[in-house]
Amino acid sequence: MAAPTIVLLGPPASGKGTQGRLLADTLKLPYFSTGRQLRRELKARSAIGREAEPYLEVGRYVPDELVLSLLMSWLEKHKGGWVLDGFPRTVPQSEDFDRFLGSRRQNLRAILLEAPADELERRVSDRRECTMCSWTGTRTQARRSGGRCPSCGGELGQRDDDELENFRQRRKEFEELTLPVASYYEQSDRLLRVCGTGRPEEVFSRLQSHLS
Ligand code: AMP
């Protein structure tokens, strides 16, 4: 059987990054987060980063063409199955991706991580991210490691877009544009709904039992 492709859907702070990296390590698949890559492009002031900036600043989704070109250049360098965190986020992105996959679309599983709004708001203010690698953790973990990434030693910080107003706009975008993506995959029997509350290890074992 061809390598599986896993796409992670969920509101902001639902744990897509954490669960995505755990899955990628376990399944030995390459992992890509479009959001993280966009933040890197922004930091580097690249053409893509500058184009994305006005959207990221206000918590709106970037245009489909922009995110597709970012993803396609990464996919070209990583053959086989993938774990994608935060892509697709709109129905046109899902349709384009299915066309790209062709018959391999049967091996795609979409995981929708679900968690209540108050828990997500609590998590978002507590979240810390490495500026160098894909590590994500909590304020307590960051304090314990002296503000340095436990994985690569890079600097840890809070995401600019984790400020409450921006977070609420991203959640709105999720409800309006990404929940229809969940329905799109549900119609073709490729959606798994996973409860995203609890410790990351608990969510991960729930997720694994859904996948097996
Ligand atoms: P994330 O790190 O997944 O929370 O993504 C951060 C931000 O990047 C989102 O709020 C969007 O503005 C943008 N973004 C990431 N992935 C996509 C996508 N597939 N389509 C549109 N915008 C995206």
By alpha-carbon position, which residue is closest to atom 7 of ligand 1?
A: 35
192-204 average pLDDT score = 96
Both tokens assigned to 1: 């059987």
Q: Tell me how far apart the 2 most distant CA atoms of the chain are, in Å.
A: 48
Please give the number of the atom of ligand 1 that sits closest to the Cα of 170.
10
12 CA to middle of ligand 1, Å?
Answer: 9
DSSP reduced 3-state for 33? strand
Please give the number of the atom of ligand 1 that sits closest to the Cα of 87.
19
| Phi, psi (deg, nearest 5) at residue 123 | -65, -40
Pick the CATH number of 5-183+191-211 from 3.40.1390.10, 2.102.10.10, 3.40.50.300, 3.10.20.30: 3.40.50.300
- pLDDT band at 1; cut points 50, 70, 90: low
- pLDDT band at 160; cut points 50, 70, 90: confident
Q: What is the pLDDT of residue 178?
A: 98
The whole-angstrom separation of Cα 74 and Cα 159 is 23
Q: What is the pLDDT of residue 79?
A: 84
Per-residue pLDDT tens digits for 98-131: 999 999 999 999 999 999 999 999 999 899 999 8
Domain boundaries, the chain: 5-183+191-211
Q: What is the DSSP string of 124-165?
A: HHHEEEESSSS-EEEHHHHHHTTTB-TTT-PBEE--GGGSHH
pTM for the full model? Answer: 0.92
- Ligand 1 is surrounded, with C-beta below 6 A, by 12, 33-36, 38, 55-56, 59, 61-62, 67, 86-89, 93, 170
9-35 average pLDDT score = 95
For ligand 1, pick from 34, 36, 135, 158 the residue to mutate: most ligand atoms within 8 Å of CB: 34
Query: Average pLDDT over the chain, rounded to whole?
Result: 94
- Asked if 129 contacts 23 with a C-beta cutoff of 8 angstroms, the reply is no
Both tokens assigned to 149: 């990434």
